[in-house]
Amino acid sequence: MLNTIMFLGLPAALLIIGVPVFVALLLTSIVVAFVNGLPMGGLQVYMFGSLDNFPLLALPFFVLAGEIMAQGGVARRIVVWIMSMVGNVPGSLGVTTVAASEVFGAMTHTAVGTVVAVGRMMHPSLRENRYNEDFAVGLIASSGAIAVVIPPSISMIIYATVAQQSAIALFTAGILPSLLIGIIDAVYVMVYAKVKKLPRHPASKPGNFWKTTKEASWSLGTIAVIFGGIYGGVFTPTEAAGVAVVYALVVTMAIHRVINFRDLWKILRSTVILVSQVMLIVMSAGVYAFLLTTSGIPQDIVELINGLHFQPWSLLLAINILLLVMGSFLEPPAAIVILTPLLLPIVKTIGMDPIHFGIVLAVNLSIGMYTPPFGLNLLASQAVLKIDMGAVYRGAIPFVGLNFLVLLLITYVPTITLFLLGPGVGR
C-alpha cells in the first residue's frame, strides 16, 4: 500500500505544485529506492540504460529536420499549394488549415511547431474572411495536434521504445487514423462555412496549380524521402531521420536559400534544448518505469480490474477518459513513458493489440494537447496569436467533443488502425 501511494501519489503531488516532470519522476524513484532499501547506485544504471535504445536515435534527427523545415519557409509553400487544390469549396480556408497541418505535422513531428507555423499564416486570413475568432483559434489548435498521430511521430518512436514494438508498424498503423481525423475536421469546417455563409475563394486555374506544385515540390519531397525510404526498405526509421536532415538542409539552404549558417546555429541550439528536455523525461521515466514494474503494482492493478469484471468496452472508455485527463496536463512523451507500463498490461488482458493501443494512446494525447485548461496547443495559440484565453477555450471545446467521437470510433473499430498492417494483425 505504501509503495502504491509513493508511486502514484508522490509524482501527482509534485506535478500539481509545478515541479518539472523529470524531477518529479526522479524524486519519486529515489524515495521509493530509499524506503525499500534498494542500492542507489543501481538507479543511474537504469537511467542511462533507458537511453541505450536504437529507435531513440531517430528522435534528435527528426526534431532537427522539423526545426529546419519550420524555419525554412516550408509552411508558406505548403499552404499556397493546398489552397490551389481546394479551390472554391465551402470553408476552403479552414480546410486548407486542416490539410496544411496534416502535411506540416508529418514534416516537423511537433504539434506546437505546427500550431505556430500554420497559425501565423492562416489566422489573419481566417479572420478577414469572417471566421469567428473562437472557431479560428480552435481550428488551429486542434489541427496542429495531428502531429502527435501522423507518422513519423516522435510520440510513436517513444511508445515503440517503451512498449518494445516496431516503429515501422506504428507508423503504418497511424496513417488511416490521422487521415480520418483530418477528414472529419474538414467536413465539420465545410458545414460550419455553409451555415455561416462564409465567402468562397475563387477556383484555382489549372496553370496556377502546376505553378504552386512546382514551388512546393522540394518541400513536399521530404515526405516522399521519409516514407518512400522506410516503406521501400531502403533505410530504417533512424536512417530516414538522418536523411531527412540532409534533405531539409539542401532544400532550405541551397535551393530556396532561406536559411544561412547563422540561422542554422540557432536551429541547432533550439534542437539541442528540445531534445535534451525529451531525453531527460525518457531517462527519468526509465528508472521510474523499471521500479514500478518490479514493484508488482501493474500486476496488482490488472488483478483488481479483472476482479471487477469490467466489460471490455467500459474498460476502454475508462482508459480513454483517464488518458484525456492526463494528456491535458502532461506532454505526450512524459505521458507515454509514465502510463504505458501501467496500462499496456491491462489492455492486453482484453486482447487489445499493442499497436492498436499505441495509436489510441497517441490520439488521446493529441486531443489532450487542446483540452482546457492546460493543453499545450492552447497555450501556444494564445501566446502566438495574442488572443484572450477565454476565446481559446471556447474555440477548442467543440473540436474536443468532435474528435472524442472519432477517438471512440478508432478505439472500438481496430480495423481502422490495423488494416494496413495486413490480415491477422490484432484480430
Once rounded to an integer, what is the mean pLDDT over residues 405-427? 84
Residue 203 phi/psi, 5° resolution?
A: -60, 140
Residue 236 above 50 pLDDT?
yes
Cell numbers standing for residue 346: 491491462
Once rounded to an integer, what is the mean pLDDT over residues 409-425? 86
61-70 CB burial, b ≥16 within 10 A, e <16:
bbbbbbbbbb
Sequence-ordered list of residues with C-beta below 8 angstroms from that of 35, at least 6 positions apart, any chain: 2, 3, 6
Residue 383 above 70 pLDDT?
yes
State residue 427's pLDDT score.
43
3-state DSSP assignment of residue 164: coil
Higher pLDDT, 212 or 321: 321
- AA letter at 154: I
Question: What is the chain's mean pLDDT, rounded?
Answer: 82
For the four alpha carbons of 113, 244, 68 and 86, in that order, the dihedral sign comes to negative
DSSP H or E stretch at residue 26: helix 21-35
Domain ranges of the chain: 2-421
Q: Which residue has the cell 532537427?
A: 64
Once rounded to an integer, what is the mean pLDDT over residues 379-402? 85
Once rounded to an integer, what is the mean pLDDT over residues 3-22? 76
pLDDT digits (tens, 9 = 90+) for 49-65: 767 766 677 778 877 88
pLDDT digits (tens, 9 = 90+) for 164-177: 899 889 999 999 99
Residue 275 above 70 pLDDT?
yes
- Work out the pLDDT band at 190, boundaries 50, 70, 90: very high
Cell numbers standing for residue 57: 536515435
State residue 400's pLDDT score.
93
Question: Among residues 288, 412, 302, which one has the least CA distance to residue 348?
Answer: 302
* This prediction's pTM: 0.79
Question: Among residues 359, 348, 373, 370, which one has the least CA distance to residue 185?
Answer: 370
State residue 270's pLDDT score.
83
Q: How far apart are CA 210 and CA 51, in angstroms?
A: 46
- Work out the pLDDT band at 426, boundaries 50, 70, 90: very low
